[in-house]
Amino acid sequence: MAEKILIVDDELNITSGFSSLLDDEGFRTQTAASAEEALKKYSQTDFDLILLDLNLPGLSGIDFLKRIGQESSSSLVMVISGQSDIPTALEAVRLGAIDYLEKPVPPEKLISSVKMAMKLVAANRQRTVMVEEIDDSSRIIGNSRPIKKLLETIGSMAVSDATVLITGANGTGKELVATRLFLQSNRRDKPFIKVNCPGIPPTLFESELFGHRRGAFTGAVRDYPGKFVLADNGTIFLDEIGDLPADCQAKLLRVLEGGEVETLGQTAQRKVDVRVLCATNKNLKEQIEAGKFRQDLYYRISVLTIDVPALRERLDDVPLLAGEFLKRYDPSQSCRLAPESMAYLSTLPFPGNVRELKNIIERVTILCGGGTVEAEDLRRMLSGDTRPSEKTSGDQPLSERVRDFEKNIIVATLAECDGNITRAAGALKVDRANLSRKIKELGLKNLD
């Protein structure tokens, strides 16, 4: 698609000459003889580049630049200036113009300057698309009190460069939190490097994170800068840091304390400016007491901490999440959840958290074959029975539905607690004797 250029100048020979020259280069141009006419055309068309004369009748070029600057314009502006307008042209650059061309402008100078500006247009467009894609896929969905508090915490911590430790069970969305911290930070247009710590063999940890020179060890056939250098001026996310072996913890601590990386095979150290985000599903304080995690590393990575709530702590968000996943896995929206099905989902304890709910909805969209999924159908799908239900939840008395809800909650909680009734009672916040009685009433096997 040809880039669009607006040429603003009150001299007809300049606008026609520029327009003809740039049209021949494959650009699409429009012209305006005044700032007022340019503002009207600007409001109707998204221009990639504006060539702006400063000496205009009526509103000046500077006034035009201020007007579009107030609208957070995405158009780039290149100033066209006469010899006497150089100080004003510099003021225009201060207001956001990317460059200025001094009149008279040679044709080859105009073409090269415009092509250079279009490279910047293309880079900005690509970065905007990438960030928007990340933004869309990294939304944290929910209106519950725990999620509102989480979003407030992210907003307050994003502006800092301090290290952040993100804790929470598997499937709660720790990586989403790290991504939101990055997107809301001043480093959002810089690199964002993600590292899965358990996925790096201990023997390759130092090389992967800090880099190596060719020949530094067997198999090092080329230079590799390492994750920290790749993240320079940006952000690095160390996922599941609690699984790092002890010797790797020591190497990481040295870099975090000094801000310098030492590449394998090279004696000189390199200074890096990297914000560090970490995540773990482990209790690191218990790991420290067990001698499995360094206390000094813990203090270094936990300057700020965020605990991501489990889904069972924000069940009010289940309908929103389920609806979002339905749209994602069934764009045609041929599959729907009956209100009773949504209510049933909202009673489950979700030991697998949001990831478990996401998998449930994906399974439902595959198995439902279109139409409305009733609560009984949903229960059958979750139990692995894909046969159509002979009896819909609408045919069940309320007492039977309540009994089924209780049964599913207790079964899922017992599974999460390895069949231990005492632990399950604690998770459900009920008396152990009452839970044991309920298990017998529902005909469940006593696994304690």
Residues 149, 129 share a domain: no
Domain endpoint, select from 253, 274, 309: 309
User: What is the structure's pLDDT at 390?
Assistant: 44
Residues 243, 127 share a domain: no
Better pLDDT: 353 or 128: 353
Write out pLDDT tens, residues 303-325: 999 999 999 999 989 999 999 99
Residues 328, 261 share a domain: no
- Split at pLDDT 50, 70, 90, the class of 388 is very low
Residues 378, 270 share a domain: no
Residues 170, 36 share a domain: no
Q: What is the CATH number for 78?
A: 3.40.50.2300
- Rounded-to-integer distance, Cα 146 and Cα 96, Å: 41
User: What is the structure's pLDDT at 312?
Assistant: 93
Residues 149, 30 share a domain: no
Give this prediction's pTM: 0.58
Domain enclosing residue 367, as ranges: 312-441
In a domain, 138, yes or no: no
Q: Report the 3 state secondary structure along 211-243.
A: CECCCCCCCCCCCECCHHHHCCCCEEEEECHHH
User: What is the structure's pLDDT at 447?
Assistant: 44
- Rounded-to-integer distance, Cα 233 and Cα 230, Å: 9
- Rounded-to-integer distance, Cα 20 and Cα 32, Å: 14
User: What is the structure's pLDDT at 386?
Assistant: 43
Please give the average per-residue pLDDT across 415-426, as a whole number: 75
Residues 424, 329 share a domain: yes
The identity of residue 315, as a single letter, is L
- Split at pLDDT 50, 70, 90, the class of 134 is low
Among candidates 236, 247, 246, which has minimal Cα distance to 301? Answer: 236
Write out pLDDT tens, residues 225-265: 889 988 888 999 999 999 998 888 988 998 899 888 888 87
In a domain, 153, yes or no: yes
The identity of residue 435, as a single letter, is L
User: What domain count does the chain have?
Assistant: 3
Residues 363, 287 share a domain: no
Residues 325, 254 share a domain: no
Residue 140, class by beta-carbon neighbours within 10 Å (0-12 exposed, 13-18 middle, 19+ buried)? middle
Residues 317, 305 share a domain: no
Among candidates 185, 134, 149, 147, which has minimal Cα distance to 164? Answer: 185
Write out pLDDT tens, residues 166-201: 999 999 999 999 999 999 999 988 889 999 998 888
Q: What is the CATH number for 372?
A: 1.10.8.60
